[in-house]
Copies of this chain bind each other. A is one copy, B any other.
């Protein structure tokens, strides 16, 4: 049995995107998503620079980089205008989704759905939209680069939720 594609993000808006963003529309690419909060020190000193480095290191037709603003504390301080100022000042050049606030508690919906432990968390999805790595805290650049490159090296047919038999052949 193959792993299932991950659920879509539930976001109230995308900042810096030309249009709507979805994991489904990114099938065929590796997707690196940085879950962060703009007032989380480790996100600012480590996560955001690493996300920008991923954007710089890998080709756009192979790897998509997204941010996900998963605010679970200090909600009043991290609303949309604050996030937009942050994105401007830190020269963030990839789309950032605003995780949908919950009506029932401080943790936003996507963060809850993915059971994230906190911020920063680097989520790596393969070409089939399967979540392959959820890395909480400081991941060193070499390891991040190696994990992403390994996913890039997988052909579209290598893994994922497609049936075992396809193209007239059956795969182990």
Where the two chains meet, the residues of A that have a C-beta atom closer than 8 Å to any C-beta of B are 39-41, 44-45, 50, 53-54, 57-58, 73-74, 76-78, 81-82, 84-86, 88-90, 140-150, 152-154
Instruction: Report Cα–Cα, A84/B140, bound state, in Å.
Output: 29
Interface majority SS (helix, strand, loop, mixed), chain A: helix
Q: A68 to nearest B CB, angstroms?
A: 19
Name A144's contact: one of B88, B142, B154 (CB within 8 Å). B142
Point out the residues of chain B lying under 8 angstroms from A50, CB to CB.
142
Q: List 9 A-B contacts (CB under 8 A).
A: A54-B142, A57-B143, A76-B81, A142-B142, A142-B144, A143-B145, A145-B149, A146-B152, A150-B150
Q: Are A153 and B143 in contact, CB atoms less than 8 angstroms apart?
A: no
Name A146's contact: one of B77, B78, B146 (CB within 8 Å). B146
Q: Pick from A81, A89, A140 the residue with the most CB of B within 10 Å.
A: A89
Point out the residues of chain B lying under 8 angstroms from A141, CB to CB.
140-142, 145
Point out the residues of chain B lying under 8 angstroms from A41, CB to CB.
89-90
Instruction: Report Cα–Cα, A149/B54, bound state, in Å.
Output: 15
Instruction: Report Cα–Cα, A92/B142, bound state, in Å.
Output: 19
Name A150's contact: one of B85, B140, B152 (CB within 8 Å). B152
Name A149's contact: one of B45, B53, B90, B146 (CB within 8 Å). B146
